[in-house]
Structure 1
Amino acid sequence: MPSNIRESDASCLEMIRSIIRSTVDDNSKWVEIFVDFENAQPTEDEREIYNMAEDVLHDCDEVLADVTSYGNGCYIERSQLKNDSDIQALKVLMTKLEPFVARTCSYYEHVAKIEKIVPIILWELSSGPLPLEEQLANKQSIAKQFARLIGFVLDFDVVKMRTAQITNDYSYYRRAKHIVYQDFEDQGVPELPQVQMFLCEGNPMLKALCNGVDAYMHSHQTLPINNTTDVFVTIINVCRFMLANEECLARLTDSSKHLCCRVMTGLVILFDHVDQNGAFVSNSSIDMRDVVRLIKQNTTQEQSDCLLAGLRFTTKHYNDSSTPKSLRQMIEVK
């Protein structure tokens, strides 16, 4: 929450916003707004938070470029070591592994940045008394930053999942370190237990995103849950409109279309994480069939498979009995 808003004022705003929006918001339809996820620029009022997010996103770009270039890491060097009891050879290998381990630690350090910026962005997008679609139209640059953050989260987790050597290098380094130095924990790259947990997580950046949402909701406990989920639904409906309207489509590049699809996917996952009934029930606030249709229509087969796999395997409620069979078939059949 911005520092210039007192806690009592914030509580009052939350109550007013909840009352107003409960009577005017309709989550079942498109939101006919074009949000320029590529070029929207901040107003003076938005600049501080926009720049805070920009700093995080700049690091996101560097982290994504680095993890994408990780390749086979030290796989060849590790496979050439035949005898783990050869301490000297292990020391040489550890020296080669250390830059890769340091890179992995830098990925983990990015988690805290995401967890910190998400509540700030959500507050900025939802703290006004206007209907959410108007709030979003007035805060396009902040919506752009949120979209870019979601895009990074999904992209990083896909690359990390496909790059097994990240985990293998780190695990081998830890084992070698204990063989070589035994109780001398101050030798080599410092070990962080959280890094191992980060690597064990199937989708670590998505978890960080969810943690950020949880932190936002915890700090605004007077707000009904649907005030948070409505933000997600509104942005999804904006993306649906942009991907279905011919005039909007003509303005979108292929990368913007892909970003819209990633944003919808990420927000469905967040909605499903927060909402008690999830995103897939027949009376969901999200038109899931339209979301799936638009993802398939506006992405390549590989991109579509990846995003739909995200809906299947990273959501809490997809496997619930309440998910309609027809929706499952739509998601699972290519």
Structure 2
Amino acid sequence: MTVYLNHVEIKGHVAFCTVCICCLPCPGLPAMGNLIKVLGKDLENCPHFFLDFENAQPTEAETAVWNQVSAVLEEAHGILAELQSYNGAGQEIREAIQNPNDLQLQEKAWNAVCPLVAKLKRFYEFSLRLENALRSLLEALTSPPYAPMQHLEREQALAKQFAEILHFTLSFDELKMTNPAIQNDFSYYRRTISRNRLNNQQLEAENEVNNEMANRMSLFYAEATPMLKTLSNATTKFVSENKTLPIEDTTDCLSTMACVCRVMLETPEYRCRFTNTDTMLFCMRVMVGVIILYDHVHPVGAFAKTSKIDMKGCIKVLKEQPSNSVEGLLNTYCILSTPKVIKHKANPFISAVD
């Protein structure tokens, strides 16, 4: 087994400890499972952790929630693959619009759009399941008697799932933002349905996507980043419905996760523990995602002086990455900025894009 020799400096005193590559509890540091505390100069204000996003496994106490969320996450890869291959029915729709009296072209466009709308319905329904999964994780990671920081220490597998939801969410929304065919297809579908209703005709496709479902899907796809908006609304709703749970418990969970990602991205000793090159992008997505959620839930937002997120540090980490890796993340944040963020004239996210 390969062993690394690390040193930790605490108030002028240097202690040496060995840390093995499998991240077993180190005898030179307090035992904290696979979550290793990183001692930094701002430890009192911003707890630093290294979280094994690649290998964390559920404990017995986590199993029930982990299984529930895992069943949802198993669908995530398929959803992304379907969205990535979504080409739309643009050609068929254009031909139908240009030749309104050609029934054959109208039927061709309709037959091309219907299976695509069924796919869009699956995406929307998955967002509802993802919302429920997020709620289960928030309940588990903020419930008494433990503080959010303790939850993240004790329940690494759930923290990893929380990160995976955010990673999926930003990946989905980046694909959606660059594919105008989604809204074009759905708009054509709705116009065709409305036109046939006026003519007292009902199409078979209405049985699958009725008017109520179509209205909800329209609101969903009208958002620039629909999945992230869903999670933001779900987090806000979770806080408002749990009156006995201090809002700080939820925001502290988010700010701690942002700090975890920042430390892993900016510290070479911790980056070298990643066995998968995609973990860097994973951490960046998660960091941006939790900052957005924090900004939506916290009364004064992520950029206030009282914020527990080191925004300058987070931006510095992002700007040090290749521009093609972070441009989409920065754009996502600017699009989903809340009014309280816009009020901050020195918004580092916006200046980073500029």
TM-score range, shorter chain: 0.7 to 0.9
Query: Partner of 2:294 in structure 1?
Result: 271
Aligned-residue Cα RMSD (Å) equals 2.1
* Partner Cα separation in structure 1 for residue 149 and residue 138 of structure 2: 14
Q: Say whether residues 1:187 and 2:209 are aligned partners.
A: no
Residue by residue over 1:118-141, the C-alpha shift from the partner in whole angstroms, topping out at 9 and shown as x without a partner, is: 111011112243443332121110
Q: Say whether residues 1:79 and 2:79 are aligned partners.
A: no
Residues 127, 230 of structure 2: 8 Å contact kept: yes
Aligned residues: 304
Residue by residue over 1:101-157, the C-alpha shift from the partner in whole angstroms, topping out at 9 and shown as x without a partner, is: 111111111121122111110111122434433321211100110000001111111
What residue identity is the alignment partner of 1:211?
N
Residues 64, 156 of structure 1: 8 Å contact kept: yes
Residues 92, 108 of structure 2: 8 Å contact kept: no
Query: Partner of 2:252 in structure 1?
Result: 230
> Against the structure 1 CA distance between its residues 328 and 110, is the aligned structure 2 distance closer, same or farther, given a 3 Å change threshold?
closer
Residues 128, 135 of structure 1: 8 Å contact kept: no
* Partner Cα separation in structure 2 for residue 323 and residue 234 of structure 1: 25
* Greater share of residues in helix: 1
* Partner Cα separation in structure 1 for residue 333 and residue 166 of structure 2: 14
Give 1:323 shift: 4.1
In percent, how many aligned pairs have the same letter? 32
Instruction: Give the stretch that moved more between structures: 101-110 or 252-261.
Output: 252-261
What residue identity is the alignment partner of 2:148?
L
Query: Partner of 1:306 in structure 2?
Result: 328
> Against the structure 1 CA distance between its residues 185 and 36, is the aligned structure 2 distance closer, same or farther, given a 3 Å change threshold?
farther
* Partner Cα separation in structure 2 for residue 280 and residue 84 of structure 1: 53
Relative contact order higher in (CA < 8 Å, ≥ 6 apart): 1
Query: Partner of 2:266 in structure 1?
Result: 244
> Against the structure 1 CA distance between its residues 274 and 228, is the aligned structure 2 distance closer, same or farther, given a 3 Å change threshold?
same
Give unpaired runs (5+ residues) of structure 2.
Answer: 1-42
Q: Say whether residues 1:213 and 2:235 are aligned partners.
A: yes
Query: Partner of 1:315 in structure 2?
Result: 337
Query: Partner of 1:5 in structure 2?
Result: none
* Partner Cα separation in structure 1 for residue 106 and residue 234 of structure 2: 40
Query: Partner of 2:30 in structure 1?
Result: none
Q: Say whether residues 1:58 and 2:81 are aligned partners.
A: no
> Against the structure 1 CA distance between its residues 328 and 216, is the aligned structure 2 distance closer, same or farther, given a 3 Å change threshold?
closer
> Against the structure 1 CA distance between its residues 139 and 265, is the aligned structure 2 distance closer, same or farther, given a 3 Å change threshold?
same
Structure with greater Cα Rg = 2
* Partner Cα separation in structure 1 for residue 341 and residue 286 of structure 2: 18
* Partner Cα separation in structure 2 for residue 329 and residue 184 of structure 1: 50
Secondary structure of 1:99's partner? Answer: helix
* Partner Cα separation in structure 1 for residue 228 and residue 73 of structure 2: 15
> Against the structure 1 CA distance between its residues 221 and 139, is the aligned structure 2 distance closer, same or farther, given a 3 Å change threshold?
same
* Partner Cα separation in structure 1 for residue 44 and residue 68 of structure 2: 30
* Partner Cα separation in structure 1 for residue 147 and residue 114 of structure 2: 51
* Partner Cα separation in structure 1 for residue 65 and residue 333 of structure 2: 30
* Partner Cα separation in structure 2 for residue 97 and residue 186 of structure 1: 13
Give unpaired runs (5+ residues) of structure 1.
Answer: 1-25
* Partner Cα separation in structure 2 for residue 38 and residue 68 of structure 1: 24
Query: Partner of 1:3 in structure 2?
Result: none
Query: Partner of 1:203 in structure 2?
Result: 225
Give me the TM-score of the superposition, normalised by structure 1.
Answer: 0.84
Give 1:180 shift: 4.5
* Greater share of residues in strand: 2
Residue in structure 2 matching 1:39, options 55, 67, 76: 55
